[in-house]
Amino acid sequence: MIAFEPITIKDKEWMTGYLKKGHRGSLEYNFTSNFIWRHVYHLERAKVEGFLVVRSGEECPTYVFPSGDGNVKLLVETLLEDARERQDKLRFNTVLNEDRAKLDELFPAKFEFKQLRHAQDYVYSAESLRTLAGKKLSSKRNHINRFEENNPDWGYEEITPGNLGEALTMHREWCKEAGCMDNESLYHESCAVEETFRHFEELELTGGLIRTNGRVVAYTFGEPLSEDTYLVHIEKAFYDIQGAYPIINREFCRANTEGFMYVNREDDTGDEGLRKAKLSYRPEKMIEKVSAQWID
């Protein structure tokens, strides 16, 4: 059987080298995304036939479609043999359209595909998020105007070791107000966020926060995903402060996305409220994903 091992921070350099060969703008092909969610989704990794293979789940393991430059047919056959040795089925939980085409070409009618709407990435024009120009985003500008009127002393700061603790304190306050301990999805997200704060410097992330009246009221983290796409991992703001969400979004993009064409703000996990919020920023495109299961 293939020997999978837990993902650790020491894997960052070599895993990133493989992930860059397969990301195509999708959040799954980013080291931070894999690292901070590793405990929640039981993520493990292995090198197989010139590819990085990331496996999730314990009882019924599934794979992100591997990234690398080896022989795809040999890779899939190796994973299929491994699944059969475990008396299980071969399942991919994330397959992009171009990889689906490869599977169809190499293994005609051997995979069953299912659309994953909840896993699609929302990708926006970076310029649009920096400027919020146009009629369709007028409500965002209005919320920001109200925030600035109500908080004339507001300021944007880059997250540094000096204010990282304040951002973490704000996150924990937000989590308490949102009821993270009573909501499985929010609790899991909070676990990932805590990992992000704990390994902020090692992950080489960039963060930003909004402060008003000396208090941190919003924060966010991100990093370049590819030459033309910036990835925003996390964004939190207090719900009772009107405009806090749109202003941290705008200011962070202004500070970090010059030179990038797109901003990937990840998926909505099937949450209707989050889906509505992400759609309200008018995505330029969606990164479609499907699952794939071998048909015996």
What pLDDT was estimated at residue 1? 85
What pLDDT was estimated at residue 23? 64
What pLDDT was estimated at residue 234? 96
Quickly tell me which residue has 């309200």 as its tokens: 280
Q: Which amino acid is at 209?
A: L
Angstrom distance (rounded) from CA 280 to CA 19: 30
Backbone angles phi, psi at 26, to 5 degrees: -100, 145
In sequence order, what are the beta bridge partners of 122?
286
Euclidean distance between the first and the last CA atom of the chain, given in angstroms as a whole number: 20
For helices 72-85 and 97-106, the axis angle rounded to 10 degrees is 80
Q: Please report, for the chain, the start and end positions of each structural domain, with discontinuous segments joined by +.
A: 5-119, 121-266
Angstrom distance (rounded) from CA 191 to CA 71: 36
pTM greater than 0.85 (yes/no): yes
Contact yes or no for 228/236 (Cβ under 8 A): no
What pLDDT was estimated at residue 18? 95
pLDDT tens, N- to C-terminus, the chain (296 residues): 899 999 999 999 999 999 998 667 899 999 999 999 999 999 999 999 999 999 998 778 999 999 999 999 999 999 999 999 989 999 999 999 999 999 999 999 999 999 999 999 999 999 999 999 999 999 999 999 999 999 999 999 999 999 999 999 999 999 999 999 999 999 999 999 999 999 999 999 999 999 999 999 999 999 999 999 999 999 999 999 999 999 999 999 999 999 999 999 999 999 999 999 999 999 999 999 999 999 98
| Phi/psi-derived region of residue 48, left when phi > 0, alpha when psi is between -120 and 50, beta in every other case | beta
Angstrom distance (rounded) from CA 4 to CA 44: 6
Angstrom distance (rounded) from CA 58 to CA 41: 9
What pLDDT was estimated at residue 178? 95
Q: Which CATH number does 121-266 carry?
A: 3.40.630.30
The stretches of the chain forming alpha helices (DSSP H) are 12-19, 31-36, 38-41, 72-85, 97-106, 126-131, 138-150, 164-178, 184-198, 244-256, 272-279
Tell me which fold the domain 5-119 belongs to. Answer: Aminopeptidase (3.40.630)
Contact yes or no for 247/147 (Cβ under 8 A): yes
Contact yes or no for 130/263 (Cβ under 8 A): no
Q: What is the DSSP letter of 43?
A: -
Q: What is the DSSP letter of 258?
A: T
What pLDDT was estimated at residue 58? 78
Backbone angles phi, psi at 179, to 5 degrees: 75, 45
Same fold, 5-119 and 121-266: yes
